[in-house]
Amino acid sequence: MKDTLLSHINYPEDLRKLSTNQLPDLAKELRNFVINIVASKEGHLGASLGVIELTIALHYIFDTPNDLLVWDVGHQAYPHKILTGRKSLFHTNRQLNGISGFPKRSESEYDTFGVGHSSTSISATLGMAIASKLKGNSVKQHIAVIGDASIASGMAFEGLNHAGVTDANMLIILNDNSIGIDPSVGALKEYLTKARVGYKPKTDNIIEALNFKYFGPIDGHDLPTLLKTLEKLKTIKGPKLLHIITTKGKGLKQAEENQVTYHAPGKFDAHTGELIPKKDIQQPPKFQDVFGYTILELARKNEKIIGITPAMPTGSSLKYMMQEMPDRAFDVGIAEQHAITLAAGMATQGLIPFCTIYSTFLQRAYDQLIHDVALQNLPVIFCIDRAGLVGADGATHHGVFDIAYLNCIPNMIIAAPANEIELRNLIYTSTLGLKNPIAIRYPRGRGKIIDWKVPMTEISIGKGKCLRNEISKIAIISTGTIANNIIDALKHIDKTISHYHFCFIKPLDSELLKEILQKHTTVITAEDGVIKGGFGSTIIDFANHHNFQNRVITLGVPDHFIHQGTTEELQEICGISVEKIRETIINLN
């Protein structure tokens, strides 16, 4: 690294040696550093570029890590990581054995709280502030940085509601850029839209109504004003909120103009900002697009079909239906609990609600799954995107728990298609008058079938099928797209092995399963999810219940959190890659 201001800064204590006049130059260097690394290594760009000045000001004014700083979600924490001892490691961001793409307590004492899902920062910071008071420390500062999309979440409101009746020494910084991953939605967004630098709406100030001292709005890119304001706020006790207005993608023209694309743009030219075009070859579709185009196709013919997503219209591809049918497709914001109970309410009135939600975010609404949907046996259709290992986002985003946490819920149908056509047929089947809720899980990324837009056919609920029938002592039973890894692995094995695909994890095809257990002495199960409580556990339970003595080997995600890496690398670690499956079969006695 050439001799720059940034080259001499490894920790905030180095930053504080600079004069305030040097900080704007440092901001330029830090912004360029982020752009240059993310251009080639990929990651979350826009959010981090939007908080360059704020990050510098926070670490300059506050005595971190003694003062506690919590970043909500963590998409915007790259500048924080660079200034807190990880500059030389930043090129390993989101890579196997590298640093995490999100703040992580085990990685640095400056990462005071592990994040990845939104809206946790206020509750965590309040907990820290109360702890400091109980310990008799009235000097320590506690700061939460939260975006305008995240603060609209129910959990954030719960934290605000509690904090407002305490005297906790905490500062919430509302980073208002009118966008999360997609543009922010909802009534609070409408209120914030009225605010601008130097002008605070005089009526309906919800923050002041919750007993917070409200400061701002100020320009979040104006370093002198940020420094002056933060210095002042250090001396004010009790709960307070500073509203700053920023531009997501600040400093890179394309990222400012196309904020959705440049949230996590992939590889791009660091000098021009232009995305590096992918090879112009015909590719299979992304599973999210199979969902998005299929629900739109069906909704054109069936006016009862409704689409719902909690803040992921682009990521889930519900955006296609939202564009054509805005009165029947809803982005409800970061509100997973509300999304599910909203769908349940619609189902009571004869509508056909599709709730499309990432597996890792469905965890946030578990009570609603049980109490509001399954207990009442309402036919809500859950299209669970990003199921299984998702790669570089790491432990906070892997969708590996859904089979296990859904499997124990009565009335729930659980399906995992092997490919795009089966997903399409499942979505169609779900509209034909199911009497139960159904969860359809599918992975991140692309499938394998180019010509997937074929006429849809009904699937028999609870039926499996044989993909490879051999006279053999060994059978493999898979669920979901991991079937493709098994098909590839079996191409390079001399042993005779049968392979069965169970699209339905619940209800199981009990007749086929009995036949498999009678014909084969060794059964291998494979799933892109946790082993404990997962599909393999269900097969073992079934065998025990029916007094079978087969040897059952379960392949899947082991009982510890899996961190970041490519999906292929992580499948290798978990023993469900093509090569690891092949090795398991070859090594069988």
pLDDT(565) > 80: yes
What is the CB-side half-sphere exposure of residue 251 using CA atoms within 13 A?
A: 23
Q: What is the mean pLDDT of residues 72-88?
A: 94
Per cent of the chain over pLDDT 70 is 96
pLDDT reported for residue 259: 85
Beta strands 522-530 and 465-468, pairing class: unpaired
Indicate the pLDDT class of residue 457, thresholds 50, 70 and 90. very high
- Which residues are within 8 A (CB) of 538 and not within 5 positions of it... i.e. 6 or more apart? 407, 505, 506, 508
Per the prediction, the chain carries an average pLDDT of: 93
Per cent of the chain over pLDDT 90 is 82
Task: Kindly list the catalytic residues.
Answer: 248, 336, 364
Angstrom distance (rounded) from CA 328 to CA 441: 23
| pLDDT, tens digit (0-9, with 9 covering 90-100), for 413-430 | 999 999 999 999 999 999
Angstrom distance (rounded) from CA 535 to CA 529: 8
- Which residues are within 8 A (CB) of 342 and not within 5 positions of it... i.e. 6 or more apart? 308, 330, 332, 353
Tokens coding 273: 């900002």
| Of the listed ranges 52-56, 201-205, 280-284, 443-447, the one predicted with least confidence | 201-205
Angstrom distance (rounded) from CA 498 to CA 542: 19
Angstrom distance (rounded) from CA 288 to CA 265: 17
More confident residue, 510 or 261: 510
For the question of whether the overall pTM of this predicted structure is more than 0.95, the answer is no
pLDDT reported for residue 203: 63
Q: What is the mean pLDDT of residues 36-54?
A: 91
pLDDT reported for residue 271: 82
More confident residue, 271 or 130: 130
| pLDDT, tens digit (0-9, with 9 covering 90-100), for 374-391 | 999 999 999 999 999 999
pLDDT reported for residue 204: 60
Q: 398 with 154: CB under 8 angstroms?
A: no
Q: What is the mean pLDDT of residues 120-134?
A: 96
More confident residue, 477 or 184: 477
More confident residue, 256 or 98: 98
Write out the DSSP string of 172-191.
EEEEE-SBSSSB--SHHHHH
pLDDT reported for residue 179: 64
pLDDT(542) > 80: yes
Beta strands 329-331 and 240-245, pairing class: unpaired
| pLDDT, tens digit (0-9, with 9 covering 90-100), for 322-341 | 999 999 999 999 999 999 99
pLDDT reported for residue 183: 67
